[in-house]
Structure 1
């Protein structure tokens, strides 16, 4: 996109905005950007209509092309930057114009961190119960670029001219994203070689309009620790020869490839992975490490895309847990057991609860891999399983909440608070749902002491947060929030008898 002096184009700006007061698709319009939305679109207003503009930063005046015009919201793509933001970098770190998955990549990194901090503050201060809570500066990612250790990519085009990339916004067109600056370099190498292999092997590419072909998606994972890789070829049907030869071709040119698998997905929806895995290699999983914990990563395992920032988050949770070796911990939404295993060495016992059966199987496998014997994992509804633990006499000293973006159901928060842990640690990828849930917990007797943001997704508007809460209903908890449940009971009994602590 071009950058021009604002004043030299003032006449053109006036023509744009006065020629026609109704936005139409394809129209060129000039507006001043007043903010960013949650997806990184520059926000502006035109005759009362909200306008979301890709590629624009707050404080800029841009000329943009209207790409879609709805009843209340219009969308556009920046064509010319008439007055650039002082935080815009002199040269772009990305040359993939058709991709908008990293909308902040033109903004210098410190400005990104400041922007995310203001976003978190805005959401948290919405609630009176949270207005005094300290929100620390955002901890930067160890690697602002090339940090993504996994990629789920669409395969399109033909075998003569394959395209591997992502869907454009609001479209089924695929944008080729070769040499993505967010991907680990090994992912980019593999994508290039897969394209070559598709062409050389004449591998039929799936066409969703006609239903012909069979190669639909490419999933690549990289172990940050070992530098080894996994490739998953997602196909519309089982086809041994073409995929087998394609995998062997990649292994010859990319010796770091340890795991190759064909996944069959015949569904017509946008879910990437199907339920059938056919392994081409002897190895079926990658081994990665975060700190002193090892993880077995299978084709469908969930693993944080930014290993460096994930380690920072897990270490912060361990620090704020203040465990002494005597505590019982419940890890809700435990996934493949990352936080559970980080805490196991300093706790008496850890119980992980997760809704997805496959994730629980991964967590149990990871516990065995690390020779951890004080962790147990269950699959099911978080509130119901936590209630079962309480009814069986378990008294958690610490509850860790790490829900998906939508946050926790109120029933989960009520059950967690009713179980009376001395501390709750909440890990969230959504400032809005975090603020909502912390306010609910405040009403249930838990006071938020502090919030630590961590930049898990550089070049995007997304940010992770870790929040520490204590039981404000009990003076005992405020004095010694790391006490075990049995110790708190004994102290409460002594206080009732009038015995000094």
Structure 2
């Protein structure tokens, strides 16, 4: 794929962009096989490919430049603002917001934050689009100073972006290398963005996590659902459940009296998952905002099947050791960092990886998602 940002050395995030996509996919499959070599009996299913462009459903944009000439993109290594608003990776609904957001910055006088000078107010803009084209937009501010000018332009913004569903302000007061802070102020009447995934509508609140690539996420959930259907467990835990993608898909294919429990530390994500439960009038499925490790270690119970989708750091030795001692027969482990999954699996010598699949959530980079089925032997 040709990219003028890469050619000009302005952005090198897509480190594999010069490699033909088929070779990228083959390389990721080979990397997964190499990392999982300690489990030689694994059956590798065909990798799930992504679209090469227009696949990112979200943009995390650093705001730079000036009020008159704002830039939306990243910071270079020397702290300079690099405008990436012509990036080919974003879906059309996301990309179409960029010129409107730039005009809003100028109209409302939203002063970009300067990392070098530690001055200014608008740090980042976060945009997420659903498959239907609806938008969730978040302005990450240093303080509440820009609340009034942003509110003043709400009617104009809705006119320019009629598909805008959720609008919020996030406060990141500290001078710190984070994308967002803890405090959220929702300015819109609606509070969730419906995300259609397969035949389910998941709900995304401003501080909830959702996978970057909707099409590959759908394939990921279908794969997990297929393995759940084969197992027919009476009880299932989905640890690190996010907005409930795996749990809700699992509930569709489990026995009528089965029980599904989703655990996620983010209250925002749990509220999103509970909304889906209410909309579909589901029974036998519960979501709770708790620490996944603590829940497993302290519950005194063991499910028939365990679904894991931890952050990049993995499970860690304590939870991995608990799984090893638990007697759980089957585990579905989805990871965006296979190296940490391998570390966890070494803490579970009784579990054998029997099936695996590479999900290319992040084309043109070395990153990928892997889902693995583990069975006790």
Give the TM-score normalised by the residue count of structure 1: 0.70
Q: C-alpha deviations, 1:127-184, integer Å up to 9, x for none? A: 3xx133233332212x22111111111111111111111122x443221101211111
Which has more radius of gyration? 1
Shift of 1:327: 1.3
Look up the SS of the partner of 2:140 in the other structure.
strand
Distance across 1 between alignment mates of 2:296 and 2:67: 51
1:15 maps to which residue?
A: none
CA RMSD between the two structures: 2.0
Distance across 2 between alignment mates of 1:120 and 1:325: 28
Alignment check: 8 A CA contact 1:294 1:366 kept: yes
Query: Relative CO higher for 1 or 2, CA cutoff 8 Å, sep ≥ 6?
Result: 2
Shift of 1:325: 5.6
Residues 284 and 451 from structure 1, CA distance in 2 versus in 1: closer, same or farther, beyond 3 angstroms?
A: same
1:301 maps to which residue?
A: 208
1:342 to 219, 236, 249: 249
Distance across 1 between alignment mates of 2:185 and 2:332: 39
Residue 146 in structure 1 maps to residue 38 in structure 2: no
Residues 207 and 395 from structure 1, CA distance in 2 versus in 1: closer, same or farther, beyond 3 angstroms?
A: closer
Which 5+ residue runs of structure 2 have no aligned equivalent? none
Alignment check: 8 A CA contact 1:247 1:260 kept: no
Within a 5 Å distance, the mapping from 1:195-206 to structure 2 comes to 195-206=102-113
Q: C-alpha deviations, 1:421-440, integer Å up to 9, x for none? A: 22111111112122232333
Alignment check: 8 A CA contact 1:233 1:243 kept: no
**Mean CA deviation greater in 415-424 or 322-331:** 322-331
Q: C-alpha deviations, 1:435-468, integer Å up to 9, x for none? A: 2323332x1x111112111111111111111111
Distance across 2 between alignment mates of 1:450 and 1:155: 43
Shift of 1:361: 3.0
Residues 350 and 323 from structure 1, CA distance in 2 versus in 1: closer, same or farther, beyond 3 angstroms?
A: farther
Alignment check: 8 A CA contact 1:330 1:398 kept: yes
Shift of 1:398: 0.5
1:120 maps to which residue?
A: 32
Shift of 1:340: 0.7
Residues 446 and 230 from structure 1, CA distance in 2 versus in 1: closer, same or farther, beyond 3 angstroms?
A: same
Distance across 1 between alignment mates of 2:23 and 2:233: 43
Within a 5 Å distance, the mapping from 1:287-326 to structure 2 comes to 287-322=194-229
1:464 maps to which residue?
A: 369
1:135 maps to which residue?
A: 44
Q: Report how many residues are paired.
A: 371
Look up the SS of the partner of 1:322 in the other structure.
helix
Q: C-alpha deviations, 1:11-66, integer Å up to 9, x for none? A: xxxxxxxxxxxxxxxxxxxxxxxxxxxxxxxxxxxxxxxxxxxxxxxxxxxxxxxx
Within a 5 Å distance, the mapping from 1:397-436 to structure 2 comes to 397-436=304-343
1:375 maps to which residue?
A: 285
Alignment check: 8 A CA contact 1:194 1:246 kept: no
